[in-house]
Chain A
Amino acid sequence: MSSVSDWEAPNPVKDNRGGLIGKGVDRYEGPLKVTGTAPYAYEVQPPSPPAYGVMVGAAIARGRITAVDIAAAEASPGVLLAWTHMNAPAQPPRGTKGHPRSTQGSKPALESDRVAYFGQPVAFVVADTLENAVAASHLIRLSYAAEGHDVAFHERLDAAGQPPGEQDVEIGDFDAGFAASEVRLDETWTTPLQNHCQMEPCASLAWWEGPDRCVAHTSVQMVKPAQHGLAETLGIGRDDVHLLTRYIGGGFGGKGQTYDDLTLAALAARALGRPVKVAFTRQQMMHGTIHRPATVQRVRLGAGRDGRLNAMSMMTWTHCHRDGAFTEHASNFARSLYAAPNRLTGHRLVKLDLPHAGAMRAPGEASGTLSLECAMDELAEQLGLDPVELRIRNEPEVDPENGRPFSQRQLVRCLREGAQLFGWDRRLPTPGQVRDGRWLVGLGMAAAIRGNFLLPAKCSFSVDADGVITVRQGMTDIGTGTYTVLAQIAAETLGVPLGQVKVEIGDSELPPAPGSGGQFGAATAGSAALMAGMNLRRAIADLATGDPGSPLHAGDPGDVTFQDGVVAIENRSETLSDLIRRAAPEGLTVEGEIRPAQDAQKWSQQTYGAHYCEVGVDPVTGEVRVRRMLGVFAAGRIINAKTARSQLTGGMIWGVGSALHEGNPVDPRYGSLVNQDLAQYVLPVQADIGELDAIMLDEVDDKANPMGIKGVGELGNSGAGAAVANAVYNACGVRVRDYPITPDRLLAGLIAKGM
């Protein structure tokens, strides 16, 4: 039984003798990425020249394929195969688990004549060149029998039901508490469907080593489910799939699973006996992968004149695919954020024929804070209170939902330090009072919260005769900095310079880790790495003290120190490489493992922050420009100041996008999304982001893991958009509760106010 008390002992990361922990170390793989030499899945050099596969998406949202004509495609130059459901290789039915402990069942491609969503891959061509494959793909003719589709979320709210296995959470008596409150707010916000828009589209390259073993490079956040799912789909042993994902050009939750590119690359490689590459196009990414679903959020707040919340409710309506099970839990974060004796939170789910909804950066918080954190701003105004002060007055002593103590909660400190650093005292509470040229200027703020998690993981550490430490783990780096923080932990733990550490991740044959997601990556993978590093220290200490040729011979292994590549007991020392070369010339390899503590659930574990934002609003056109933005965060010990800051500022930019730019409308006639490329799907660009900074408060959360670190990947996004929206209101006095706050929407409010 493990306990958080097991993590109280000192360790090299806590001691930080080498000073590498917390340092803004450059990215381990940075030079490869900036020189374009990091081989992403599609760029890996296969053992023989690859063929190129291209998918064709369905042109209807729901129905059947009634006829296919692939003759012209098959006859097109260079074409090696053309598949639809009529002639694709047989695959086990969806979800089949030949091995009972597979983390993912089979995911057959081109499995039937059914079309379940617009853009679903329904045909596939492989040719000798990409150009020939694309040209042939245009020659495939499919006929459909469309069936009525149901995609209009806002018209279908009456069909919403409780998500499977869930219930509303009520504490106290919300209705009575709300009715009895002196000051009440009851407003509804909407957020649109969003796409991940990773720089690197989903892509795969597969080849076979003999009839039963498949090597597949793909772009995925979690290694094991990808390996297992492919093995189940191909009907081969799980160990007979070697799945690699060395470099990933953004995931954001959208690559938490694999797609038909992987299945089809592997099937075609088997059929053709040569490597096959398949990538989604940018257009195909919009429908063919998952998205963040739209939401409707009703927030009700009841407070006394003193600003103390008496009642708080947040109800979210959202949607997922007819066959899906995903719920955007936008109300969940509200359960831990503010004190209020009477509370009601829950979700309603509508099943639609849109593509599959799924996790996207800060699922839940990203959407949910856009309502509650603006509701708090509105309530503060009703009360005549400063929005920061309103939040401080509702700071709970224990988790307001489950009564657990907080492992760490520095929200108030984030709020206060942010206010001071940002110059919040210069905000005028009455909107529309500050002008700079043609811009009305306003300030807004919001709180940030996101849960912290630790999952089971393993890791191996090796040392070779050159004293080089190699970290090996089935972990991924989706641009977050995993390579770098693992290198820092290894270097600090073994007392070697960073240049003496190698990191190998993204490989199913390495010790398993859960991958990247839910901001659990660094804590989970890093803790396993620390454990492996500690085990390697012990192995090296035993080796040195047991080796008659070592100056450390016959010493107490517990006294061995590791510093600057030297092992020592007081003044007796030798270099690590001398020791290994002599006493273990083949090197040493050990594993380590982290498991969640049994008693970790006794604490409410969250990360916190406060966002401050200044915007300009052009009252003539309704255009909004972010002028400056500051986030102050408390998220445990920070391993790398640079990559953590990048994560946080990146998340904040996502918030700017959610507030002002992003959203993909659904055309109900076709059941498809309107924006299909990065020109139409509007993300913030450099010019949309003014001054931007993220500050991390000193914190160690000793209930989180042996290093006291927590995640930051989702935190920066939580609340950021609400700070922007609140700043827009402060600038011009218009509340837009339908996101994004585009010029046309803001203009309507400005005109309504006579501006």
Chain B
Amino acid sequence: MRPFTYERAASAAAAVEAAQAPGARFIAGGTNLLDLMKLDIEAPAHLIDVGRLPMAGIEATDEGGLRIGAMATNTAVASDPLVRARFPMLSEAIVAGGSPQLRNKARVGGNLLQRTRCAYFYDPTKPCNKRQPGSGCGALEGLNRNAAIFGASPSCVATHPSDMAVALTALDARVETLTAGGGARSIPVADLHRAPGDTPHLETALDDGELITAVVVPPAPTGGQAYRKVRDRASYAGGLASVAVAGGRLALGMVALKPWRATAAEAALVDGADPAEAIGRELAGASPLGRNDFKVPLVARLAVATMAEARAAANGGGQG
């Protein structure tokens, strides 16, 4: 960790204004940023603590959806009665991530912005275009068992680790932000993260100093919801793959540098394809690298099982 200065923002407006300072970063739960600072992967000169801003509420919207304040903890969202009633899959996805201690600290806004767990990103002695642009990608020909199968580039094959973001993508959620100039924006979660391309260090559609203030979830689609995650141990583990189903919408986790909306599969379902056929259509576009080849059959099987679970939930059968 390198020396840095710290301030606690008095308001969201003050926070985005303070963020104009060079090397400034927002911090809320700090569950990811502090780790990265200790490893010298992140070295912000100035931290603006937004964690105590009064943006932690969870409210029903008039349309029948939810507005979740960006500073709500993961635990608060996962245990919220409205969330559990309307979007049980979101609650399942959150609980599938991290550990209770982490979920107690982590906030919704920061969860969406957490950085990859790629081992080459975490080891400063290794090349990583995300950590050090132009240095190369250690994972491309390395031990890339957990690398992306969709949307990767020769510059970066990392995956996005958030479970919650996968659920929000399937739920068609949007983030509300406050821009540096004080303006408000609304961005679909599905568009929040960038494809790596040649610039994997540029991770989101947010401008410098733009602050996520809330996540807005539209009313649940008809049909059931389900979230399944496969991981190397039962808790406190990043996923090998996950699937979020909300009605006819499908999102895949840990297969790309962003939550992967399975649009080809959704289109196939609309055309009357059965679940196996539909996910097969999506996976026809996968580009595994060797050590992560297993993700293709894994996602295929997991998606079929998760869609079945969602159907059962819709029929009042509960969760398998």
Contacts and interface: CB of A to CB of B under 8 A. Distances in A.
A283 B122 CA distance: 10
Interface string A727-753: 000000000000000111001100100
A621 B294 contact: no
B311 to A, nearest CB: 15
A91 interface: no
A687 B1 contact: no
Contacts of A687: 233-235
A690 B232 CA distance: 16
B1 A747 contact: no
B126 interface: yes
Nearest to A59: B125
A672 interface: yes
A216 B291 CA distance: 46
Contact of B39 (A283, A438, A672): A283
Interface in B212-245: 228, 230-238, 240
A518 B238 CA distance: 35
B1 A135 contact: yes
Nearest to A755: B301
A744 B119 contact: no
Contacts of B231: 623, 743
A539 to B, nearest CB: 53
A672 B230 contact: no
Contacts of A621: 228, 230, 298, 301-302, 305
A672 B125 contact: yes
A675 to B, nearest CB: 7
A747 B293 CA distance: 11
A675 B233 CA distance: 15
A688 interface: yes
Contacts of B232: 661, 682, 742-743
B237 A682 contact: yes
Q: Which of A625, A660, A667, A682 has the most CB of B within 10 A?
A: A667
A744 B240 contact: yes
Nearest to B37: A134
A159 interface: no
B297 interface: yes
A198 interface: no
A674 B240 CA distance: 16
B145 A686 contact: no
Contacts, number: 97
Contact of A437 (B40, B99, B119, B320): B320
A676 B125 CA distance: 12
A685 B235 contact: yes
Counting contact residues on chain B (CB < 8 A from A), the size range is 35 or more
> Which of A132, A674, A685 has the largest number of chain B CB atoms within 10 A?
A674
Nearest to B305: A620
Nearest to B301: A620
Interface string B154-181: 0000000000000000000000000000
A688 B233 contact: yes
Interface in A274-310: 283
B238 A679 contact: yes
Interface in A667-722: 667, 669-670, 672, 674-677, 679-680, 682-688
A643 B218 CA distance: 54
A487 B117 CA distance: 46
Contacts of B240: 743-744
Contacts of A684: 233
Interface in A614-635: 620-623, 625
B117 A679 contact: yes
Nearest to A660: B233
Contacts of B236: 679, 685
Contacts of A677: 122
Given A674-B119, A679-B236, A684-B233, A138 B2 contact: yes
Contacts of B208: none
A131 interface: yes
B126 A676 contact: no
Contacts of A669: 141-142
Nearest to A134: B1
A623 B304 CA distance: 16
B126 to A, nearest CB: 7
Contacts of B298: 621-622, 743-744, 747
B3 interface: yes
A609 B141 CA distance: 44
5 contacts: A77-B3, A131-B1, A438-B305, A674-B143, A682-B233
Closest CB pairs A-B (n = 9): A687-B234, A687-B235, A744-B294, A59-B125, A621-B230, A688-B234, A620-B301, A135-B2, A682-B232
Given A674-B143, A747-B301, 14 more contacts: A77-B3, A118-B125, A132-B3, A621-B228, A622-B230, A670-B138, A679-B236, A679-B237, A679-B238, A685-B233, A685-B236, A686-B235, A743-B240, A744-B294
